[in-house]
Structure 1
Amino acid sequence: MVLLPLVDLDPDLAALRPLGGFFVLRTAGAPADPPPPLAQTYAHRGEDVYEDSVTLRVRMITERLQAPELRVSASIAQQALAARLWSITLGCAVRYGSVPDLDPLLLHWDAAASAPDDLWLAEVRPRPADAATVADIVVRGHLEPLTAVLHARYGVAEGLLWGNAGSALAGAAREVDRWARGAGTDAGVRAHALAAELFTHPRLAPTGTLTGTAFRRRSCCLYYRVPGGGVCGDCCFMRDPRSSPGAASG
């Protein structure tokens, strides 16, 4: 395997581009009409605020997928954002050896856009790529306040949301591994090592079991409730619970 040299974070985070759109983070140039920073969204907590990023994304998903409940759309929105956060930090960790500070005051979420145009970082400030720092950036900085908002606003179970976070982390590590195998580097090994250490965090440890590159979560994201949806590959359910006699409501 080829060992990639670790380099300083560049202003455009260009080394993330080969990994795919979910890993890319916009940094250069402020958008003409920038969305509010995520810190503003987190501050709203249980309020259903017009044009709030969470409200906008949940309503958009509900309309597009014809989701039967807002909590289903909220779960899908949260897992997608968690996947973006984990992808950016894991990608930077293995490509640069450091990660950008994703302070909610600096990170803006355009809830009407899709990756890689949905997130914009106002300033690239490098931080160490160790598990404790990554957990501080993603878990404490984003997932904890986002969980509080979605639980208060839409009644989504906190355990479900943390299960989404665990699933998103495992998925991001697998995507790095997939790219690394094609590129002939050891980045996948390093990504999985970092993910395994992150799964020792008290918020993530109860979410499921990581075995090598495989993850089995202990909760369900509720995607099976979307018309035409089903259970995900890492779901706690082996089949759509609606097909089982006496199945729980989820």
Structure 2
Amino acid sequence: MTPLIDLAELGSVGGFFALREGPGGPGSVPFADVYAPPPAARDPLGLRVGKVERGLRAPEVRVAVSVAQLGLAARLWSVALGSAALYGAVPDLDAALLRWDPDGASPDDLWLTDVRPLPGGARTVRRVVADGHLEPLAAALRARYRISAGLLRGNAGSALAGAARELHAWAVREGREDVGERGLAMAAELFGHPGLRGTGTVDGAAFRRRSCCLYYRCPNGGVCGDCCFERPPSRSSHRASSG
């Protein structure tokens, strides 16, 4: 029998691990609509990118695209990896079942209309998150915006490492070290897949990526903790940072 998933406990790990059951609010849309070409009336990806662009005062749209994709990747990895480490089961995040409010933020942005636990570990996490969401998300963003595939892959790796690190820290605080170690082991297995291999250097809960998310280009922006740069590069070298 597939283990049940306790969404309340999962959400207690942190806001990025939160997943609500239900149809979501009036602004939520199924991810199947997110990855489709924008219709005339609704454009979830454009809405999110615009919101991030305004919030960060991003100097160019690709910075907002990168940060928006990084945030979504972190939410999806966190929900799936946390569930797999805690319960040995992953919620079916099918794009027709999972709903997202592009104007919302964690913990109130993701809703699952029907929680269907899938048995499995890292392989299931990869199929549900990378195959089911990150690949179509990257394709949709690259079709619309000037953004490199390498940058998006680096963001996916950074988001996975961040999810594993937060899960491990929670597990240590709660005396659930076994959960944290399972999360790190699954993350290491996921980084061995060609889709994430080479995105960075993994050492337990530590990660150093080989690309940059471009956040440093925002006003008052700096480098992230896992950035390939020790300090923000000069403007003359910023194009090389996105590869």
- TM-score higher than 0.5 here? yes
Look up the match of 2:10: 16
1:1-250 equivalences under 5 Å are 7-10=3-6, 13-27=7-21, 29-33=22-26, 35-44=28-37, 47=38, 51-185=42-176, 186-242=178-234, 246-249=236-239, 250=241
Alignment CA distance shift 1:49-1:165 (3 Å): farther
Letter in structure 2 aligned against 1:80: G
Letter in structure 2 aligned against 1:17: G
CA positional deviation for 1:48: 8.3
Q: Give the secondary-structure state (helix, strand or coil) at the position aligned to 1:82.
A: helix
- Between 1:30-39 and 1:124-133, the stretch displaced more is 30-39
| Equivalenced residues, count | 238
CA positional deviation for 1:50: 5.2
Q: Give the secondary-structure state (helix, strand or coil) at the position aligned to 1:61.
A: helix
Structure 1 stretches of 5 or more lacking a match?
A: 1-5
Cα contact 1:218–1:235 (8 A) shared by 2: yes
After TM superposition, the score normalised by the length of structure 1 is 0.90
Q: Give the secondary-structure state (helix, strand or coil) at the position aligned to 2:35.
A: helix
Structure 2 stretches of 5 or more lacking a match?
A: none
After TM superposition, the score normalised by the length of structure 2 is 0.93
Distance 1:50 1:162 in 2: 30
Cα contact 2:25–2:101 (8 A) shared by 1: no
Deviations 1:52-97 (A, max 9, x none): 2111110001111110111100100000010000110111112211
Alignment CA distance shift 1:66-1:193 (3 Å): same
Distance 1:169 1:32 in 2: 27
Deviations 1:102-138 (A, max 9, x none): 0011111101111011111111111123211111100
Cα contact 1:49–1:55 (8 A) shared by 2: no
CA positional deviation for 1:49: 5.9
Identity of aligned residues (%): 56
